[in-house]
């Protein structure tokens, strides 16, 4: 059973550039969330996608955008990169309507982005 | 979303039982308590989730007192591979909030 996968594993960009990160959810999951984790901090919620629409958004600027495809995979796009965007970007998948605090989220290994 | 407070760091010797307590004084009626484990440069891994009393799985136990204002994650007989950051989260997707709110977590160091 494949878990959450992300690509690429590492990425180096320069200020002002744009980047696209990709995520494939765990088999059977239909919801994808994206998180940003700076060094030494806990992950911070960016947004969540369900049925190809953004269902909820955290406190991130419009430079951060996303997309979900019919096969439930997702992309995170960041425009006009800043040095402060350097972080580990995590994708998490879950099943809509899951029991408990639903939708227990399972995380991928992350993409390490370095902005120079 | 309920705010959580947990120790910044803990040390333990191999083979000991480790208990990490999390305080969540303003937990709401429908909130669940969830714990994640994270190794460096990896995504968080779901450990356990509970609502009240005690929950046990193959990895850990979660103890929640009747007032639910705190919870304790118990790791039996830790090994060096349990060295990681442990996050306590509280929330309820039924309230229309699906995001996980992470604090800084507890850095557990297991000593040989």
Q: Is the Cβ–Cβ distance between B1 and B93 less than 8 Å?
A: no
Give the mean model confidence (pLDDT) for residues B7-18: 97
Q: What is the pLDDT of residue B68?
A: 94
CA distance B111 to chain A (A): 21
Q: What is the pLDDT of residue B97?
A: 65
Residue A55's Cα: distance from chain center in Å? Answer: 13
B46 and A100: CB-CB below 8 Å? no
Q: Is the Cβ–Cβ distance between B43 and A111 less than 8 Å?
A: no
Instruction: Identify the residue among A5, A21, A41, A42 best suited for mutation to test binding to B, counting B beta carbons within 10 A and taking the highest.
Output: A42
pLDDT band of residue B29 (cuts 50, 70, 90) is: confident
Residue A70's Cα: distance from chain center in Å? Answer: 17
Which among A32, A24, A35 has a CA at the least distance from the CA of A2? A24
**Residue A6: other Cβ atoms inside 10 A:** 20
Find the CB nearest A109 among B34, B43, B102. Answer: B43
Q: Is the Cβ–Cβ distance between A115 and A13 less than 8 Å?
A: yes
Q: What is the pLDDT along chain A (116 residues), one digit of tens a residue?
A: 679 999 999 999 999 999 999 999 999 999 999 999 999 899 999 999 999 999 889 999 999 999 999 999 999 999 999 999 999 999 999 887 655 555 578 999 999 999 99
Q: What is the pLDDT of residue B2?
A: 58
CA distance B58 to chain A (A): 17
Q: What is the pLDDT of residue B1?
A: 52
Residue B95 has pLDDT above 90, yes or no: no
CA distance B29 to chain A (A): 12
Q: What is the pLDDT of residue B31?
A: 84
Find the CB nearest A45 among B34, B92, B101. Answer: B101
Torsion B88-B61-A94-B80 (CA) sign: positive
Q: What is the pLDDT of residue B35?
A: 94
pLDDT band of residue B27 (cuts 50, 70, 90) is: confident
Question: What's the mean per-residue pLDDT of chain B?
Answer: 90
For the segment B33-71, what is each residue's pLDDT rounded down to a tens digit?
999 999 988 999 999 999 998 999 999 999 999 999 999
């Amino acid at each position: 059973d494949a878990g959450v996968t992300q690509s690429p594993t590492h990425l180096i960009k320069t200020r002002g550039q744009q980047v696209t990160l990709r995520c494939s959810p765990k088999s059977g999951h239909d919801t994808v969330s994206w998180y940003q984790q700076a060094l030494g901090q806990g992950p911070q919620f960016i947004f969540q996608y369900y049925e190809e629409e953004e269902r909820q958004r955290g406190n991130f600027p419009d430079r951060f955008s996303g997309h979900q495809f019919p096969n439930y995979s997702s992309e995170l796009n960041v425009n006009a990169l800043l040095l402060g965007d350097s972080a580990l970007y995590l994708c998490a998948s879950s099943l809509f309507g899951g029991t408990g605090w639903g939708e227990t989220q399972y995380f991928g290994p992350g993409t390490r982005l370095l902005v120079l | 979303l309920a705010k959580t407070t947990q120790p910044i760091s803990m040390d333990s010797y191999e083979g000991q039982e480790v208990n990490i307590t999390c305080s969540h004084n303003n937990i709401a009626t429908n909130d669940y308590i969830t714990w994640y484990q994270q190794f460096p440069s990896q995504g968080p891994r779901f450990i356990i989730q509970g609502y009240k009393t005690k929950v046990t799985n193959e990895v850990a136990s979660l103890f929640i007192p009747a007032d639910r204002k705190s919870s304790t994650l118990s790791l039996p007989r830790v090994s060096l591979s349990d060295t990681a950051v442990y996050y306590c989260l509280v929330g309820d997707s039924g309230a229309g909030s699906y995001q996980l709110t992470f604090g800084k977590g507890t850095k557990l160091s297991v000593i040989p």
